[in-house]
A = this chain, B = another copy of it.
Amino acid sequence: MNPSYTRREFLATAAVGVTLATLNPETLSANPVQETTMTQTVPAAFAASHELKPLPFDSSKLDGFSEKLIRSHWESNYGGSVKALNIVKQRLAGLLDDANTPPFVYNDLKREHLLRTGSVVLHELYFGNLGGTGKPDQALGKILSEAFGSANAWEKEFKRMGAGLGGGSGWVMLGYNLHTGLLENYWQWDHAHAPSATLPILVMDMYEHSYQMDYGAAAPAYVDAFFRNIHWETVAVRLDKALKVRALLVAGAVR
């Protein structure tokens, strides 16, 4: 692949910019200095450009989850984070040149930026790996087996980590670490925790909004229901891509 082509592609897709006129005027009124620059474009890194991604399955058809819970999770928890992320980016754009904002106060918003980015990305991956049935195919099972000793050992650790996070917040992630080349299960305390340089392969939401409505405090029962609904084809494709990505990264590796 041609690097300069890739760069052009990037410039064309990632940096389209968003005119402030498309942003919520109500919120903008809090940042009056911006109003005079309505025709300017906001660079991609600060653009409030995040949009809700629809559920890739029928919310009434999961085995062991009420439609009410899935709708509430998607609309209020995921949807709330999409809105919040856009608001945070607008505020960061407005404060970037404000010398009166001390760095540690600016960082309070950058923490929220990290938290909400994590929430948006992880929720999209979560709903993305739900809506299926069945089991891992043979190829996926073999990779899990090689990495964890057996597919059962992998599942056992993954579920145990879920049970341990019951009653609070967090995520369990099967991730492919692009730096170490290891396929591991990672514990995450909240949306802002994550393994560095890692592609998520299978993510399980352990925030209580994922299960309280249907399962109360019975987190392990939720974990079992989650497993009945994993979309294994998606998991397999993610892992296949991750392995290709790793091959690309180690070929002619940096320093």
Contacts of A160 in B (CB 8 A): 103, 106
Contacts of A1 in B (CB 8 A): 244, 247
The reply on A136 being an interface residue by CB < 8 A is no
How many residues of chain A have a CB within 8 Å of chain B?
Answer: 124
When chains A and B are docked, how far (Å) is the Cα of A149 from the Cα of B44?
8
Cβ–Cβ contact B255 & A249, under 8 A: no
Cβ–Cβ contact B195 & A193, under 8 A: no
When chains A and B are docked, how far (Å) is the Cα of A183 from the Cα of B81?
19
Cβ–Cβ contact B249 & A245, under 8 A: yes
The reply on A61 being an interface residue by CB < 8 A is no
Cβ–Cβ contact B255 & A143, under 8 A: no
Cβ–Cβ contact A105 & B109, under 8 A: yes
A77-B167, A189-B111 known; A241 vs B247 contact (CB < 8 Å): no
Cβ–Cβ contact A197 & B196, under 8 A: no
Cβ contact of A213, chosen from B7, B98, B102, B213, cutoff 8 A: B213
Cβ–Cβ contact B200 & A199, under 8 A: no
Contacts of A148 in B (CB 8 A): 43, 45-46
Cβ–Cβ contact B77 & A44, under 8 A: no
Closest to A139 in B: B7
Mark A residues whose CB is within 8 Å of B. 1, 3-4, 6-7, 9-11, 13-15, 26-27, 29-30, 43-46, 50, 56, 68, 72, 75-77, 80-81, 84, 87-88, 91, 96, 98, 100-114, 117-118, 120-122, 124-125, 128, 139, 142-143, 146-149, 153-154, 156-157, 160-169, 177-200, 207-209, 212-213, 216-217, 231, 234, 237-238, 240-241, 243-249, 254-255
Other A-B pairs beyond A110-B187, A168-B207, 6, CB < 8 Å: A7-B243, A43-B148, A117-B177, A117-B184, A121-B195, A209-B212
